[in-house]
Each structure stands twice: as structure tokens, then as C-alpha cells.
A = this chain, B = another copy of it.
Amino acid sequence: MDLKALAAHLNLSATTVSRALNGYSDVSAKTRQRVVEAAQALGYQPNPVARSLAMGRANAIGIVYPLEADDVADPRFLQVVSGLTEGLMEVNMDLLLASATHKGELDTYDRLVHGRRVDAFIVARTLCQDERIDYLQQAGVPFLAYGRSADCQAYPWFDFDNEAGSVLAVARLAGLGHRHIGYIHASLHYNFAHQRHAGFLRGMAEAGLPVASQWLLQAGLARRSGYQAMMGLLDQDQRPSAVIVDNNLAGVGAVRALLDRGIVMGRDISVIVYDGIPPDTLLTQHITSVVQPTQHRTGKHMATLMSRLLAGGHPLSELQMLCQPELQAGDSDGPAPG
């Protein structure tokens, strides 16, 4: 059932049917209704390929998932993607998933852009200095960054207010009387780690607390490294009375280290972890956490930004979105000793 067939069936021209379906004003209300009903009844669905060709738009956006060697795929990514597909579906767009090793990523962009397979990209896992963003900007390809890079004035992005999250966490601990606060973070090349780190420093400053460099530990994005970092912290002569961990993978390891040492969270030491601890780790305590909107909502927000971006005519301010995190109280923190 194509346009022409539908038009013939209605004794109308293809033009009119097309315009009726696409909401043009030069078709009478009566005719439009007739067309819409017939389309419904006959199960007409426009061929998206023909549509794309005629309109010069792919009606699809691309996302390339960077696959590093042993960097285990993170489940949240998939959840964001699912929110994204759902949101895009509403504006009749598709999501094209490509994958590429880090070094091949730019080529992949090139191929997809050049081949007009997609109208825009989503750049995930943003780094502070991100060559992908530089490339896309310079190539004039529309894109939406999931996470800001260091210089984020000039392009559309979606991000969490990571800095505010850390400030929140520090304020909570300071309010409980803690003066010795440790911080375990991921590589500062990641924008989120950088921002959270900056927030930690600011929070400490605002609370009038000194930052002890020996309690500022870098870990990776893996449990093992969180475990080691926490162990390193515990082995020091002077321990902090509270610790913040900037990602939940390392958080799991850190918590595990405390369990192994028989240190009780909330009593012996206070712990706050970004994004909490996955529920199936068999942990009985509730970790006090900095939480963000669900991945699913995140995906939908990004879909909204994306459709604005492609519609054009929106000022940059409407193409940038900052989500505020919240502090979710648990029982892994408590008043400072003494």
C-alpha cells in the first residue's frame, strides 16, 4: 500500500494525500479527515526510505559505542539507549548503533556522516579534552554530547550537575561533624570525574575544611581499584572519618574492603557513593548516595534535545540541559566520632 495506491483509492492526487497526512494547510478539513481515515483503515505507512531520500534527511541518529579492550560494557549505557530509542520513536527517528575501538572512532563518524546515514550523533563518555567533539564541531556535523567537555559553551549537551552533587555530599558529611573526609575518584580525564572532583574541593572549601592530599585517591572504574583505594586509605596512620566515592563501580569495591576489615559503615566510618550500590550485591545496608535521574529519563531528555537540534532554530540555551542530582539518605553515614 503506497501513496499512489491510497490516492487512487480516494480519487485524489498523491500530492494532496501527502499534504493531508503531513498537516499542510492547503487541504480542506473534510478531505484531510477522509484521507486520514482511509490511511488508517488500509494500514498505510509511508516508506521511510523514500521519505528520507525526498527530504534529504536520514531520520536517524547515530551513536557509536566505544569498546575498549577490557573495559567491561556498562549496563547503564544500554538503559540510556533504551530511553533514547523510546523518545526518538515518538519523533519518528531511528537509532543507529555503531561500535568502534577508540582509535577507529573518528573513522566511523566519517563514514556515517559522509554516507548520510544519520542526521546527527550522540557522543557518549565524554572526556575533558575530547577530540571527537573537536572533530564533529569542525566538520559541521550536528551532535549532542552526553556529558560536557572542558569547553562546552558552543555545542549542545546533556549533563548532570556533577559539581553540585559533590557539594551536596560534602555538606551532608560536614553537617554530621566530619572534618576529615577522604575522596576516591576515577581518572580526571573523564569529565564527570573532573566535575565531581572540583565539586568536592569546592564543598570542602565552603565548609571550611582542609583537603588532605593523602586522602585524595585516584581509582579506576572497576571494583578492584575501588577496593585497593579504600584499603590504601585504611592502611594510613591517620584515617579519614568519612569517604566519598565518585562512581559506584569503585564504590562496590570500597564497600567490600570495609566489610573485609570488619569496619561498620555509619558507625566506624561514613560512606557516600555516587549512584549508590547496585541492589544485587547482597549488601544489607543502604548506602547514602548522590543520585541522578534514571537512565531512562535521561534517554528521553536526550531525545528531546535531539529533536530540537534537528528542527533547528533553537537557541543554544535550549539545547543544553543540566540535571540536578539529589542526595538520598541511607544508613552508611552518621555523626563524626568524638
Contact = CB atoms under 8 A, between A and B. Distances in A.
A49 B47 contact: no
Given A53-B53, A67-B82, A97 B97 contact: yes
The 7 A-B pairs of least Cβ separation, nearest first, read: A82-B99, A73-B78, A223-B280, A73-B75, A85-B99, A49-B52, A97-B97
A81 B97 contact: yes
A48 interface: yes
Contacts of A223: 280-282
A65 interface: yes
A227 B280 CA distance: 10
Interface of A: 43, 45-50, 52-53, 58, 60, 65, 67, 72-79, 81-82, 85-86, 89, 94-99, 111, 114-117, 222-224, 227, 249, 253, 256, 278, 280-282
Nearest to A75: B73
A94 B52 CA distance: 16
Given A65-B78, A94-B96, A98-B89, A280 B49 contact: no
A49 B52 CA distance: 7
B72 A74 contact: no
Contacts of A94: 96, 98, 117
Contacts of A114: 43, 45
Nearest to A57: B49
A222 to B, nearest CB: 5
A86 B111 CA distance: 13
A97 B94 CA distance: 8
A119 to B, nearest CB: 11
A79 B68 CA distance: 11
A96 B249 CA distance: 29
Contact of A115 (B47, B65, B280): B47
Given A280-B223, A280-B224, A281-B223, A86 B99 contact: yes
B67 A58 contact: no
A64 to B, nearest CB: 9
A304 to B, nearest CB: 17
Contacts of A99: 81-82, 85-86
